Amino acid sequence: MPAQSSRAPALSGKVAIVTGGGTGIGLAIAKAFVDEGAHVVIAGRSQASLDKAAAGIGAHAIAADVSQEADAGRLAKETATRFGGVDILVNNAGVTGQVANAEDLDIAQWDETMAINIRGTILCIKYCVPLMRARGGGSIINMSSLMGLRGYPMRSAYTATKFAVIGITEAVAQEVGIHGIRVNALCPGAVNGELMQRVIAARAAKENRPAEEIIKVNYTDKAALKRWVEPEEVARAALFLASDQSSSVTSERIKVDAGRM
């Protein structure tokens, strides 16, 4: 029989919040954390879908719209009340924003993208930092994107928010390092899943090109590995940043993009 591993779970006893944790990358991260011994709260706007997702991985669900300050504060407080504190925050909640040229933007949709992707990130940080400080440290992982490192046509709203997330990461890391709190950003490339399929469908309609052509020419062929990134691959990077394996890594941005040019 194969030898049993004696490795201790990487996040044993830690308490983690994963926003946008009911689907896609967020759900993959939450599952990876649960598998490594963490108590995990997944947050999102639909209690019913969260409950189903949480039951499937052994997490706890709290419905919250993180763009609303009262909800972000309640999410942090309820997590701490239930589990005794907060050690890890993954700011994953986000929307793709409009796929449109700047001159065609609906500013109401622009404002919604800013509210969820930027305001939601800073609000969760605002309310989790004191809880992490009380625990003697923690890890904050902000979900940026390759579009937080360079602009991309017809994605000005999303790009703006993901550049902002990088700025928040670097600024807050300098504020909270003295308390043993690390702050890093993940920058995924094109990740296989429902969110990316919606973007491709919108591009296909806008550009009058087949979705298959857009995928090949603009995404997979531009990657050194010639494929999508899978949510579980982003989750493994998040696990590294959440664990003591990255104990001296802060104010960093890590690409998970299959080598996309």
Catalytic one of 127, 152, 158, 219: 158
| 127 is annotated as an active-site residue | no
pLDDT, tens digit (0-9, with 9 covering 90-100), for 131-185:
999 999 999 999 999 999 999 999 999 999 999 999 999 999 999 999 999 999 9
Residue 3 has pLDDT above 90, yes or no: no
- How much is the average pLDDT of 43-63? 97
Percent of the chain with pLDDT over 70: 98
Give the per-residue pLDDT at 4.
55
Of residues 233 and 202, the one with the higher pLDDT is: 233
Q: Do 245 and 10 touch, CB atoms closer than 8 A? A: yes
Q: Do 20 and 30 touch, CB atoms closer than 8 A? A: no
Confidence of residue 244 (pLDDT cuts 50, 70, 90): very high
Mean pLDDT over each residue of the chain, to the nearest integer = 95
- How much is the average pLDDT of 228-254? 97
Give the per-residue pLDDT at 177.
98
Dihedral sign, Cα of residue 64, residue 67, residue 70, residue 76: positive
Give the per-residue pLDDT at 5.
57
Which residue ranges form the domains of the chain, and what is each CATH number? Answer: 15-190+230-256 (3.40.50.720)
| Helices and strands in the chain: count of H runs, count of E runs | 9, 7
Residue 195 has pLDDT above 80, yes or no: no
Residue 261 has pLDDT above 80, yes or no: no
Give the per-residue pLDDT at 137.
98
Residues near 42 by Cβ (< 8 Å), separated by ≥ 6? 18, 21, 22, 26, 27, 30, 50, 53, 54, 59, 60, 61, 62
